[in-house]
């Protein structure tokens, strides 16, 4: 989904800014994923979360998350999976 200038762009940016990432020993059971592409359509990064949103991966690095990005994903897209 291309969100540039769309209804999701401001709230996604707020979720990304609020989220901190630290290296972790395990990435958990991954359930959510986001892939970011640049304007030239080159892949920039991928971000994956477990069901709790506290553990996951950035590209292939295991990390822990703290912030609102998982809440943004859940509030905007969880209904699509029910």
Q: Which residues contact residue 69 at a Cβ distance below 8 angstroms, ignoring those fewer than 6 apart?
A: 15, 16, 18, 19, 47, 49, 53
Indicate the DSSP class of residue 53: S
- How does pLDDT run along the chain (82 residues), one tens digit per residue? 666 667 778 888 899 999 999 999 988 899 999 998 888 889 999 999 998 999 999 999 999 999 999 999 989 888 887 6
Break the chain into its structural domains and give their ranges.
9-73
27 contacts 57 by C-beta, under 8 angstroms: yes
Give 4's DSSP letter: T
Is pTM beyond 0.75? Reply is yes
């Amino acid at each position: 989904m291309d969100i540039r200038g769309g209804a999701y762009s401001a709230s996604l940016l707020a979720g990304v800014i609020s989220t901190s990432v630290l290296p972790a020993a395990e990435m958990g059971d991954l359930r959510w994923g986001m892939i970011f592409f640049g304007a030239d359509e080159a892949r920039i990064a991928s971000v994956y979360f477990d069901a709790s949103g506290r553990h996951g991966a950035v590209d292939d690095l295991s990390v822990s998350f703290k912030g609102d990005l998982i809440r943004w994903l859940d509030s905007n897209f969880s209904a699509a999976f029910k």
